[in-house]
């Protein structure tokens, strides 16, 4: 698995104004890596994720997946959407099976894959419920299971925990790391939560808006499980805060502002 | 997590009990209100009330009920009902098979052809069903097919508008998610767009069924030789007021039952809401 992003530019028309969401972005993503795209809203991080998925096409530059140019979505690149995007008319079981049925997997194997993921995400008891009967956390589990059961080489997650309360969010972050260890594939996660990025990522790509550019790529070498109160953890956090707010000198003030906007109490 | 599931089961159990209570209450309200209506009707006729309307001219509800009970033994009554039912059913099925694909297509495409067709359809939509009748007579060889055409028109527009509207409102992320899971164009339409618009399609269908009934009764009164609409009009012209009132109520009940039937099917199909 390899992802190469070369000089990718993407702009949108907002009314009559042309907004550059991504400005000449280049990045290469390593095999089995946990990568976080971090930045404030409007920095183009979700746009970049959609381009990698193949949902949208860049205006300029190219994205290569295993050496092949990305032109359309593929089941080799699983996507988990921010609002879960579960099919409300299908039960949990059938939501997970949606892709498998299209892939024409033989029934016996289909059942074993389904069982494997119901097990992995502790969804057995909810298998016959409809999405509107589930809590936000359970919906997110189903969405991840649905993307993973097609055995993608890359999983793209667009702010997967943004709508969840902080306690549940931390629990699901641990769960995500556990899944990542089981699956041994590349994860790319978009977030605006600095601590989430440091807690999860091998590398953090810090993006800044107007126009959307890569500010810096920060490797996180801390051993897992990571502690949010560890001095190295806080050091990285302060560094990112300074990157995102270069004018500000008062660290604590900035911290408050940013964590509040990220939804952490 | 098993705890959450249990909680939900418990919730649905008590929910079911509440539902039974609500249903009993609703049914009793319905029955009582009908009885009160019949009683008032009886009184205004019995005391020959002439103001504000000439209620005294009407037959008493008791007479109507007696004639109606006799009517249940007559084969003609059932034939007329079945003929009208068949026409409505045919019109609705034809309406469904035409309006759903056209509605989805207009909802999905943003080209000049679909816009043009939509403009033409919008011009026809406000025309009352009865006004289609002369053209229908010219277009079709038999009266039967022109009556079915009118019922088709009745069903067509409400289903079309609702399908089109719902298609446009399908969440783009849902479509993106399906594409990422390997869904192609036909699969998207049958497995994502269709279930996504189903709820609103049923709303259109219930409105369409009512419109179809209006259409069939009008057409039968104007040009039919059979059907419950024809029978009702015929009874009036023969000054058989009992039977024209019975016809009127029969039409009402048929319309009510048809819509209730559509709602029942909707509940069977749409289990996820």
pLDDT tens-place string over residues B19-69: 888 999 999 999 999 999 999 999 999 999 998 999 999 999 999 999 999
For A148, which residue in chain B has the nearest alpha carbon?
B181
Candidates A73, A122, A130; nearest CB to B180: A73
B191 vs A contacts (CB less than 8 Å) = 98
Say yes or no for a CB contact (<8 Å) between B179 and A78: no
Provide the number of CB pairs (under 8 Å) joining chain A to chain B: 77
Say yes or no for a CB contact (<8 Å) between A77 and B8: no
pLDDT band at B9 (very low <50, low <70, confident <90, very high): low
Residue A259 phi, psi dihedral angles, 5° rounding: -65, -30
Per-residue pLDDT of chain A (265 residues; tens, 9 = 90+): 899 999 999 999 888 888 899 999 999 999 999 999 999 988 899 999 999 999 999 999 999 999 999 999 999 999 999 999 999 999 999 999 999 999 988 999 999 999 999 999 999 999 999 999 999 999 999 999 999 999 999 999 999 998 889 999 999 999 999 999 999 999 999 999 999 999 999 999 999 988 899 999 999 999 999 999 999 999 999 999 999 987 755 555 445 555 544 544 4
Candidates A55, A79, A132; nearest CB to B272: A132
Q: How far is B165 from chain A (nearest CA, A)?
A: 19
Question: Mean pLDDT, to the nearest integer, of B255-273?
Answer: 95
Candidates B173, B181, B271; nearest CB to A150: B181
pLDDT at residue B182 tops 90: yes
Say yes or no for a CB contact (<8 Å) between A150 and B182: yes
The DSSP bridge pattern shows strands A186-191 and A154-158 to be parallel
On average, the pLDDT of chain B sits at 93
How much of chain B, in percent, has pLDDT values that exceed 70? 95
Instruction: State in Å, rounded, how far the first CA of chain B is from the last one.
Output: 22
pLDDT at residue B155 tops 50: yes
Token pair for B152 = 């088709």
Candidates A85, A125, A135; nearest CB to B177: A85
Say yes or no for a CB contact (<8 Å) between B5 and A126: yes
Q: How far is A258 from chain B (nearest CA, A)?
A: 28
Helix intervals (H) in A87-165: 92-102, 107-120, 136-148
User: Which pLDDT score, from 0 to 100, does residue A14 have?
Assistant: 85
For A55, which residue in chain B has the nearest alpha carbon?
B176
Which residues, 6+ apart, have CB-to-CB distance to B229 below 8 Å?
B84, B216, B217, B218, B219, B220, B221, B247, B251
pLDDT at residue B4 tops 80: no
Considering the entire predicted model, what is its pTM? 0.87
User: Which pLDDT score, from 0 to 100, does residue B7 have?
Assistant: 53
Query: CB–CB of A153/A186 below 8 Å?
Result: yes
């Amino acid at each position: 698995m390899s992802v190469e992003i070369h000089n990718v530019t993407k702009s949108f028309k907002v009314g009559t104004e042309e907004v550059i969401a991504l400005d000449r972005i280049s990045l290469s993503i390593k095999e089995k890596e946990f990568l976080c795209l971090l930045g404030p809203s409007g920095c183009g991080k979700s746009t970049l994720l959609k381009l990698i998925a193949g949902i949208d096409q860049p205006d300029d530059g190219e994205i290569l997946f295993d050496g092949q140019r990305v032109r359309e979505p593929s089941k080799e690149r699983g996507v988990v959407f921010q609002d879960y995007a579960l099919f409300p008319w299908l039960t949990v079981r059938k939501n997970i099976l949606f892709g498998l049925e299209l892939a024409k997997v033989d029934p016996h194997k289909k059942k074993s894959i389904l069982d494997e993921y119901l097990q992995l995400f502790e969804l057995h008891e909810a298998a016959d419920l409809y999405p509107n009967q589930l809590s936000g956390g359970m919906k997110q589990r189903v969405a991840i299971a649905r993307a993973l059961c097609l055995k993608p080489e890359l999983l793209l997650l667009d702010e997967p925990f943004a709508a969840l309360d902080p306690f549940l969010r931390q629990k699901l972050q641990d769960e995500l790391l556990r899944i990542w260890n089981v699956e041994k594939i590349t994860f790319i996660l978009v977030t605006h939560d600095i601590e989430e990025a440091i807690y999860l990522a091998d590398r953090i790509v810090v993006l800044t808006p107007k126009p959307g550019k890569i500010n810096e790529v920060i490797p996180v070498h801390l051993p897992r499980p990571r502690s949010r109160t560890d001095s190295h953890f806080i050091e990285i956090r302060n560094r990112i805060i300074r990157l995102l707010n270069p004018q500000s000198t008062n660290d604590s003030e900035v911290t408050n502002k940013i964590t509040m906007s990220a939804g952490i109490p | 997590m098993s705890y959450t599931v249990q909680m939900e089961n418990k919730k649905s159990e008590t929910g079911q009990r509440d539902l039974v209570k609500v249903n009993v209450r609703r049914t009793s309200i319905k029955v009582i209100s009908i009885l009160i209506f019949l009683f008032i009707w009886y009184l205004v006729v019995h005391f020959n009330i002439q103001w504000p309307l000439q209620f005294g001219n009407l037959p008493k509800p008791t007479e109507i009920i007696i004639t109606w009970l006799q009517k249940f033994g007559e084969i003609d009554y059932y034939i007329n009902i079945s003929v009208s039912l068949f026409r409505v059913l045919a019109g609705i099925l034809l309406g469904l098979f035409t309006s759903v694909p056209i509605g989805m297509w207009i909802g999905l495409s943003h080209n000049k052809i679909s816009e043009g067709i939509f403009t033409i359809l919008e011009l026809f939509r406000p025309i009352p069903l009865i006004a289609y009748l002369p053209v229908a007579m010219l277009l079709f060889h038999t009266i039967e097919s022109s009556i079915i055409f009118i019922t088709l028109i009745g069903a067509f527009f409400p289903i079309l508008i609702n399908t089109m509207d719902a298609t446009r409102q399908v969440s783009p992320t849902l479509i993106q998610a399906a594409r990422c899971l390997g869904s192609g164009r036909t699969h998207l339409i049958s497995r994502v767009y269709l279930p996504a618009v189903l709820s609103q399609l049923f709303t259109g269908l219930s409105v369409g069924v009512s419109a179809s009934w209006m259409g069939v009764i009008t057409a039968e009164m104007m040009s039919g030789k059979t059907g419950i609409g024809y029978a009702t009009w015929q009874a009036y012209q023969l000054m058989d007021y009992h039977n024209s009132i019975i016809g009127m109520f029969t039409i009402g009940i048929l319309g009510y039952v048809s819509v209730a039937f559509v709602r029942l099917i909707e509940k069977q199909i749409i289990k996820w809401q």
